[in-house]
Amino acid sequence: MTLAVLCGGIGGSRFVRALASVVEPDRITAIVNTGDDDEFHGLYVSPDPDIVTYTLAGEVDEDRGWGLRGDTFRWLDALRRFGHETWFNIGDRDLATHLHRTRLLRDGATLSEAMRDIATAFGVRVRMLPMSDDRVRTVVETGAGDLAFQRFLVQRHASDTVRAVRFDGAAAARPAPGVVDALASAEAIFIAPSNPIGSIAPILAVPGIRDAVTRARCARVAVSPIIGDRSLQPPAGEMMAGLGHEVSAAGVARLYAGLIDALIADPDDARHVPAIEAAGTRALLAPAIIGDDASRRALAHAALAAAGIA
């Protein structure tokens, strides 16, 4: 069995971990959003690949939802003395990851190679691929101006009205090595309960990836990140609403129309089943909130069942 997962963010990381709890991890390929990548203090930072890696390694800070458990921020506190912006939190141990990645990239490694090296160092067996080795930058157009995704989310707390979202560099980017092949050979493709606009859309914007998902002959299953008409993790709801999409499981189904065969929605969203099916996809109800090992395994089994995999 080989499974491919399009993912990013907290929801994506938890879903990949859920699959890895019931399937041999080395049978899973995680295709991770890198549109959030940015530079801070001269370091190349990859927020989505890092949270997926840390979560799979069992080292993520579950309370914060990002970074390494038990990390401290002494270097950032010291840097503040010199007047530098420190709104993007990087812990002391987390800093080592960014230093290592930056050095690899400056020495000529590709983003794919750097991601693989970091995953290996953390003992992660899931195959980790960036959506592209080329630079793609998610920019949120707001009333306050054009904002890089991290500035929109972290510094400004997704408080600005979203007018548009663009993915600079995507048109000229190519899928990272192995991405299209992983989608073509997968026995099932999953779209994790990640932000449809901020995490999944950048992946699909890379030429060749959307086509690969569309052409795939295997089952394609998405898990809704919207539960009870709100997003569990911002800014999915804010971005969907700003772009005129209904903030609901049905709105997610419409966004993924033509890309998926089934959408898993939480039982709280049973009323949206007719609208989901009107969007051309099967609607399946299963608890979508991961709170412990039992709920993690239950969601993974529901996703596999939706894909026709026992």
Is 149 part of a structural domain of the chain?
no
Is 92 part of a structural domain of the chain?
yes
> Alpha helix locations (H) across 81-174?
92-106, 111-121, 149-150
Is 54 part of a structural domain of the chain?
yes
Residues of the chain with pLDDT under 50: none
pLDDT at residue number 170: 98
Contacts of 180 (CB under 8 A, 6+ apart): 208, 209, 212
pLDDT at residue number 233: 86
Is 142 part of a structural domain of the chain?
no
Is 145 part of a structural domain of the chain?
no
pLDDT at residue number 1: 80
pLDDT at residue number 192: 98
β-pair type (188-191, 3-7): parallel
Residue 246, class by beta-carbon neighbours within 10 Å (0-12 exposed, 13-18 middle, 19+ buried)? middle
Overall number of domains in the chain: 1
Specify the CATH number for the domain of residue 262.
Answer: 3.40.50.10680
Is 102 part of a structural domain of the chain?
yes
> Alpha helix locations (H) across the chain?
9-20, 47-56, 74-80, 92-106, 111-121, 149-150, 179-185, 201-205, 209-215, 236-242, 249-255, 273-278, 293-306
Is 162 part of a structural domain of the chain?
no
Is 192 part of a structural domain of the chain?
yes
| CA proximity to 165, closest of 153, 151, 150, 149 | 149
User: What range does the domain containing 92 cover?
Assistant: 3-136+171-306
